[in-house]
Amino acid sequence: MIEVPPLAPGETLLFTLRHGVTELNRDKRVSGQTLDVPLLPEGIRQAEEARECFAGTSLDVVVASPLARAIQTAEIVTGLPREAIEIDPLAAERSFGRMEGLTRAQVESRFPEVRYLQIGTVGYSLNPPGGEPFPVLHDRARAFLRQLLERHRARRILISSHQTFLQQLHGVLRGLDPFEALQHDILNLELNLFHLNAQGHLTSHRRDLLVPQASQYPSF
């Protein structure tokens, strides 16, 4: 069970959870929205391990991206059936356009105009052809948060989604711009807990690695 703070009137708890490993993570290929791949068997095992840590944690609402890997992760970790999970298209992964499914070497060969921002070992594409630039994704994350709080303020909410979208959502919550948000990578089955006051402002943030061995699949 995850230790969570008590809620005063009007306060909200947001749990964010990145999905388990997929073939795209394993093979270091760009994911995005069009390749709706499921979890690998190892990703299922990761989610089952995370469920053991999460069991007994009180939730009011579970929201997931419409992509299979996020829904499947939410089902396993929370034990809820799909029909009990709220699906929100705004929580989908970043659109990488024509880069989706490609390795970085293939992107550089086919789309030499793509520029990258390198942060540690991760190369963030700044102008994916036909995809979402980071400021656009940041605005989508802001709209998602605003609408989520309109529907579910003062509740305990779990959001099952994807690395790049969650980076920008975390950035919105922490007051970071779209590029500052990229300084904070998110691993598979990483849980972040954000405590918001009655005005919707962040009062505390905590990060838990529910599956420590997920670090063997670093972002790229």
> Is 170 marked within a binding site?
no
3-class secondary structure for 9-44?
A: CCCEEEEEEECCCCHHHHHCCCCCCCCCCCCCHHHH
Residue 93 a catalytic site member: yes
> Is 20 marked within a binding site?
yes
Q: Which two tokens stand for residue 207?
A: 């990060």
Residue 19 a catalytic site member: yes
> Is 43 marked within a binding site?
no
Which entry of 93, 100, 132, 190 is annotated as an active-site residue?
A: 93
> Is 103 marked within a binding site?
no
> Is 26 marked within a binding site?
no
Which entry of 11, 19, 49, 75 is annotated as an active-site residue?
A: 19
> Is 164 marked within a binding site?
no
In contact, 163 and 186? CB cutoff 8 Å: yes
**Buried/exposed 53-74: b ≥16 CB within 10 Å, e otherwise:** bbeebebeebbbbebebbbbbb
**Position 72: which residue type?**
Q
> Is 24 marked within a binding site?
yes
Binding site feature residues for substrate: 18-25, 69
Q: Which residues are catalytic?
A: 19, 93
